[in-house]
Structure 1
Amino acid sequence: MTQSFDALIIGAGQAGPPLAGRLTAAGMTVALIERHLFGGTCVNTGCTPTKTLVASAYAAHLAHRAADYGVVISGAIAVDMAQVKARVNAVVANSRSGQEAWLGSMERLTVFRGQARFESANTLRVGDELLTAPQIFINVGGRARVPKMPGIEKIDYLTNTSMLALDSLPRHLVIVGGSYIGLEFAQIYRRFGAAVTVVEKGPRLVSREDEDISTAIRDVLEAEGVQVRTGAECIAFAPHADGASVHLDCTDGEPEVIGSHVLLAVGRQPNTDDLGLDRAGIAIDEHGYITVDDQLRTSVPGIWALGDCNGRGAFTHTAYNDFEIVAANLLDGEARRVSDRIPAYALYTDPPLGRVGMTEAQARATGRPLLMGTRPMTRVGRAIEKGESQGLIKIVADAGTQRIFGAAILGVGGDEAIHGLIDIMTADQPYTTLQRAVPIHPTVSELLPTVVGEMQPLSPT
């Protein structure tokens, strides 16, 4: 028996539930299919649990630094990993149950639990059920990529998902991958008390950032005792009595690292391989991402792809913006586009990195005359007062149009302060508008008018 709806949504990640809310509020009958956990990556294995861990790790770090603030703690400082994990589980469960309750309260919404597969361009199979609709929205997210590396099949390894199941402290955590996921876990577990080594194939950490930002991030981690091995061109694994041996081909350092645990943090891949996309004629690229246009329409009329599976963003906020774009275009008569989105994201090390728009290298590649302003966090009052003065502020602008091309704030509150620059760029205002602002003292944001006011021409390389 086939059940008919006005719309089908595959996946209860960040874009699916709010889209269900808008469609049902517009009077449409909707079926939402979820095969595993409501909330998607963000709630279950991404932002929510990892930032909860970041908070616990920060508390441990601050406790160890208490004397720097004139606070005396008598007795040993210990981290109870079972309690840390219990706290993470509670925060995740609360978030997930809240979403389930919201979906359960929606009129005209039917929730199906199971694996969805296309039978045709307008029909899905979920177990024994056939569901059909003229509009289908794919929001299936992604998962950790496990590349083929010599010996990987011979060892037990962790991904960002299985890492969250740990309730004990690794003796020595070896993290393969020196980008956002890997570095956050590196600092978390170092602060919990584990020995940590980060192995990166490239010449530096977070290679998408400018070299000065990458260097500053490395300095922060190494100052806390994280070992960093870059230039690991050939990485191989082998079982070892103490866990696993990670063989390296680096320009310097020992050729082998022995870890009790190995975490693979080398990228993500979309959950599109078991949807039967070929039966619907939906085009994908060479990496499995669903091909979409500027309004998130796939190659098949009536089918859209939102979130991590479309390759147009890899963050919770971009997935939610995908929902906003689709809903506005379908229901509000607007013509919103993905290309209007200004890229912005954060790295949640401590201090965090807030990033918007172009890097300096990308701005230079435009060939436009540039202005750049920088300020070390050692000259930011709020950072000095908090005793957390690592990092820098960096802003790059077009000298002709006075529009900000991009910025990075690596420092205390950087993930929040960056929003002043996101707002100016979104409003398409010149940096002089920000220069006239009167921000609150003492904050990190109060230095943004100062930095743009002191920008100097950037000499060509």
Structure 2
Amino acid sequence: MQKFDVIVIGAGQAGIPLSKKFAQAGKKVALIEKRMIGGTCINDGCSPTKTMVASARVAYLVKNGAKWGANPKNFELDYSTVLERKNAIVKSFRNGAIKGLEKEKNITVFMGEGYFEAAHHIKIDTKEETIDIEGELIFINTGCSPTIPNIEGIKTTSYLTSTTIMELEEVPTHLIIIGGGYIALEFGQMMSRFGAKVTILEKSDTLLPHEDDDVCVAITDIFKSENIEIHTSAEVIAVSGKNEKTVSTTIKGKKRDFTGSHILVAAGRSPQTKNLKLSFAGINTNDRGFIEVDEHLKTTQKNIYALGDVKGGPAFTHIAYNDYVILADNLLKNGSKTTKGRLVPYCMFTDPQLGRIGITEGEAKKQKLNYKVAKLEMKYVARALETGETKGYMKAIVDAGTKLILGASIIGEQGGEIMSVLQMAMMGNITYEQIRSNIFAHPLFSESLNNLFMSLDE
């Protein structure tokens, strides 16, 4: 039995910095990773997808260059270069993470699958052997993987996930996407811009069912303007086929089949807890398999914590990283940070982007708040007109009494960056009146935050 002060299961965007921080504090650390150092974000999440999204945007701009007076001639997509660029960036990020761990003398990295034998006893199945280790402090950062719904024929029909679609060596002829959430939309627009015909099937009444209706309408209109086929209220009942795939649905009570070259299943993500044998450690999960934690990220077992997607809640890399910040501060500096009330920004990297922070208008209504809505379409934003990026709008929810910002939805070029400006305002309790009278550099997208809040009563 090897003994450690700290055991971290999962070398993702929380597990790596946490391991390093404890190692630098003089603790003997074991870091367990069953697949690849860097976790989902570096290997098949944020880094590769956003790299490919960037290539798709350039392809779109080139094909539509006449709008800016740059007439394209003989446009041709070199998809092999797209993949090479993506793979090079992923390799660079992963190698950077590996080198960072190698510099820490107090970290032992185990490449294998870790699971509980008892509360503080972990077994690791490597390619060569099974290793037993013990640790006083244990952190679980195993993340999530694509959910595969129980659809008739799914086990005998080949399909793609958000991971495997990036391994294709050619662009699909016709991609049928099951799901209409953030992942589905990023891949849908990307592949459409690479030249695929794309059909999106969403079971809810709208795309992005967790967003305000006007967000759903705007994104739907943008996608339809790019000839992406969208069907909502579409219940997938079966899939079939080998070379040619068929997706059978019912849409508002009527049966309809869709035929394409590839199927992408983008129906959410599930926690990677099944093989951890959490019951052996007395760690509770909810009915979906997510680890139950309190506001300090403690599980139901003493000195065992969970970080990132595996604990449920907002499934974003930056939330996992903030989980690390909370635990490092609390356990190494006697801090008192919690997850309670923290702001959760996020961005969907479609083009234009959707940047979100705080509450939606729907949530404000549900909470019966005294609020106002400021809204400005991008076609009235000077910078948007100058750059030819006029799709979308800026929208902010403000408290009518305190005049503080409660939330924002930005659909537009640099939507995430504009959202971040409003996030900083929320953190600093800056009122919309202060933003309205602030001096921004001209001409920036953020400058039109002046105009956004001019839409409210003086």
TM range (shorter): over 0.9
Percent identity over the alignment is: 40
What amino acid maps onto 1:373 in structure 2? A
Q: How big is the shift at 1:178? A: 0.5
Q: How big is the shift at 1:106? A: 0.8
Q: CA 1:185/1:327 → structure 2, altered by over 3 Å: closer, same or farther?
A: same
Q: 1:88 aligns with which of 67, 86, 89?
A: 86
Distance, in Å, in 2 between the alignment partners of 1:251 and 1:382 is: 42
What is aligned with 2:354?
A: 353
What amino acid maps onto 2:277 in structure 1? G
What amino acid maps onto 2:169 in structure 1? D
Distance, in Å, in 1 between the alignment partners of 2:106 and 2:348 is: 39
What is aligned with 1:104?
A: 102
Deviations 1:280-334 (A, max 9, x none): 0100000000000001000001000001100032001000000001111111222
Distance, in Å, in 2 between the alignment partners of 1:448 and 1:252 is: 44
What is aligned with 2:195?
A: 193
What amino acid maps onto 1:46 in structure 2? G
Q: 1:77 aligns with which of 56, 75, 78?
A: 75
What is aligned with 2:117?
A: 119
What is aligned with 2:393?
A: 392
TM-score between both structures, scaled by the size of structure 1: 0.96
What is aligned with 1:65?
A: 64
Aligned partners of 2:64 and 2:72 also within 8 Å: no
| Structure 2: unaligned runs, 5 residues or longer | none
Distance, in Å, in 1 between the alignment partners of 2:195 and 2:320 is: 35
What is aligned with 1:257?
A: 258
What amino acid maps onto 1:24 in structure 2? A
1:230 and 2:242 aligned? no
Distance, in Å, in 2 between the alignment partners of 1:436 and 1:31 is: 53
Distance, in Å, in 2 between the alignment partners of 1:173 and 1:41 is: 23
Distance, in Å, in 1 between the alignment partners of 2:101 and 2:404 is: 42
What is aligned with 2:183?
A: 181
What is aligned with 1:42?
A: 41
Aligned partners of 2:203 and 2:233 also within 8 Å: yes
Q: 2:136 aligns with which of 103, 117, 134?
A: 134
Aligned partners of 1:372 and 1:456 also within 8 Å: no
Q: How big is the shift at 1:454? A: 2.4
Aligned partners of 1:373 and 1:456 also within 8 Å: no
The correspondence of residues 9-408 of structure 1 with structure 2, limited to 5 A, is 9-74=8-73, 76-127=74-125, 128-239=130-241, 242-251=243-252, 255-408=256-409
Deviations 1:186-222 (A, max 9, x none): 1001101110000000111001111111010011111
Q: CA 1:283/1:183 → structure 2, altered by over 3 Å: closer, same or farther?
A: same
The correspondence of residues 439-450 of structure 1 with structure 2, limited to 5 A, is 439-450=440-451
Instruction: Give the number of equivalent residue pairs.
Output: 454
RMSD of equivalent CA atoms: 1.5
Distance, in Å, in 2 between the alignment partners of 1:109 and 1:435 is: 50
Q: How big is the shift at 1:226? A: 0.4
Distance, in Å, in 2 between the alignment partners of 1:322 and 1:183 is: 27
Q: How big is the shift at 1:260? A: 0.4
Distance, in Å, in 1 between the alignment partners of 2:21 and 2:277 is: 27
What amino acid maps onto 2:227 in structure 1? G
Distance, in Å, in 1 between the alignment partners of 2:54 and 2:357 is: 24
Deviates more, 1:130-139 or 1:63-72: 63-72
In the TM superposition, structure 1's runs of 4+ consecutive aligned residues that sit over 3 Å from their partners are: 251-254
| Structure 1: unaligned runs, 5 residues or longer | none
Aligned partners of 1:371 and 1:456 also within 8 Å: no
Match of 1:93, SS state, is helix
Deviations 1:27-66 (A, max 9, x none): 1111111111111111111110100110110111011111
Aligned partners of 2:178 and 2:236 also within 8 Å: no
Distance, in Å, in 1 between the alignment partners of 2:369 and 2:184 is: 35
Aligned partners of 2:376 and 2:451 also within 8 Å: no
Distance, in Å, in 1 between the alignment partners of 2:237 and 2:132 is: 46
Q: How big is the shift at 1:78? A: 1.1
Aligned partners of 1:204 and 1:231 also within 8 Å: yes
Q: How big is the shift at 1:381? A: 1.1
